Amino acid sequence: MFKDIHQAKYDLIDKGLPSDLVIDFGSTFRPRYIEYASKNGAKNCLSIDYQKGDFPKGVEFEQMDFSKDRIVQFLDLYRTKAPGKCLGLMYDILLHQYGPLHVLRNLLSTVDHVCLGNPVLKEGGDPCVFLPSVPEDEQGECTPQPTGYGV
């Protein structure tokens, strides 16, 4: 177990730097990681989230929903502006995504390396209910599509 989870996340980022582009998925409420990357070897920094937060100078922002497939096309085009090694930061975002495997597949297809950290619930704890924040009429677009791999 880590004594300081934030330091463990910084240590993961250090392993991916220097990088031509660092993309932080879901950094509105925790800009400390993209800020750290921008000061420690990232040439370009991009934050993607559903809501804009306060980011340091030099960090670009794009408002986007991770569960939508258009994120792949957007990042393919964006990466032509910043070619080279791309590091994705995916900290604490998967548990509140509708169709987390679909989201993960999309995000992983857009980066070369990834720092992934997600909270885990203790086995045998209180029962939890997942309540996605996607309107019911849009949920069909968010559900994982068959890929031909596995079940």
In this predicted model, what pLDDT tens digit does every residue of 110-142 receive, in sequence order?
Answer: 999 999 887 665 555 555 545 455 555 655 544
Q: Per-residue pLDDT tens for 13-48? A: 999 999 999 999 988 888 999 999 999 999 999 999
* Residue with the two structure tokens 């596995």: 150
Cα-Cα end-to-end distance for the chain: 33
* Residue with the two structure tokens 């950094």: 27
- The answer to whether 31 and 61 are in contact (CB under 8 A) is no
Mean pLDDT of 37-66: 92
Separation CA 59–CA 19 (nearest Å): 14
The domains located in the chain, with CATH, are: 5-142 (3.40.50.150)
